[in-house]
């Protein structure tokens, strides 16, 4: 009976190790793709900014450049989460909350810019413009609430979670 348990334990160990190697491989591929995404988005934002400087349209292009840079921040923060997962072999929640905050702020900026364009271009007379503006304000309020909830969640995690040496 003991030989059967020993053999079963060895099989479980080998299967667990094999899945661990597969998991590590997937994390490494994901990390490489995130690096490529971040570098591509960074290059695109730099190209947009350089073109805007050359054409004298910096004020118009800054929101688009900022949007691209926030995408870079999101990719880097997810890459950080993958790095922590590879190192510690466990999923860490806080970086995902930070990504949620960055994504929410990115959307807040986009909605704000769209609402500003609506008011600047004098489109209030068009049918449905006030409905679009009202929906934008509701979305901004909800996004602000999401940011607040995520910040509180991070504060609670830091206060009550064990200290990690990775951050």
Q: How confident is the model at residue 167 (pLDDT cuts 50, 70, 90)?
A: very low
Residue 11's domain comprises: 1-72
- Regarding whether 67 and 2 lie in a shared domain, the answer is yes
User: Where does a domain end: 41, 72, 103?
Assistant: 72
Q: Alpha helices of the chain — where are they, by DSSP H?
A: 2-55, 58-88, 94-120, 129-160
Torsion of CA 104, 110, 114, 117, to 10 degrees: 130
- Regarding whether 64 and 106 lie in a shared domain, the answer is no
Please report how many Cα atoms fall inside a 13 Å half-sphere around the Cα of residue 77, on the Cβ side.
18
How many CB atoms are closer than 10 A to CB 10?
A: 10
Residue 66 domain flag: yes
Q: What is the mean pLDDT of residues 2-29?
A: 84
How many CB atoms are closer than 10 A to CB 81?
A: 20
Please report how many Cα atoms fall inside a 13 Å half-sphere around the Cα of residue 81, on the Cβ side.
18
User: Where does a domain end: 42, 72, 102?
Assistant: 72
Number of compact structural domains in the chain? 2
Q: How confident is the model at residue 125 (pLDDT cuts 50, 70, 90)?
A: low
Residue 122: the pLDDT is 61
Residue 81 domain flag: no
User: Where does a domain end: 72, 102, 127?
Assistant: 72
Residue 98 domain flag: yes
> What are the pLDDT digits (tens) for 78-120?
888 888 877 877 777 888 899 899 999 989 988 888 777 777 6
Residue 79 domain flag: no
| Token digits of residue 35 | 């690096």
């Amino acid at each position: 009976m003991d030989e059967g348990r020993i053999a079963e334990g060895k099989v479980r160990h080998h299967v667990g190790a094999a899945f661990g190697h597969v998991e590590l491989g997937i994390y490494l591929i994901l990390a490489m793709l995130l690096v490529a995404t971040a570098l591509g988005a960074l290059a695109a934002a730099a190209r947009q900014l350089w073109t805007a400087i050359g054409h004298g349209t910096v004020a118009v292009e800054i929101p688009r450049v900022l949007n691209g840079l926030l995408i870079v921040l999101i990719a880097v923060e997810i890459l950080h989460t993958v790095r922590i997962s590879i190192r510690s072999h466990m999923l860490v929640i806080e970086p995902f909350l930070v990504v949620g905050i960055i994504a929410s702020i990115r959307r807040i900026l986009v909605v704000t810019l769209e609402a500003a364009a609506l008011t600047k271009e004098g489109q209030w007379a068009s049918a449905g413009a006030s409905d679009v503006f009202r929906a934008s304000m509701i979305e901004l309020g909800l996004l602000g609430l999401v940011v607040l909830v995520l910040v509180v969640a991070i504060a609670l995690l830091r206060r009550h979670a064990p200290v990690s040496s990775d951050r």
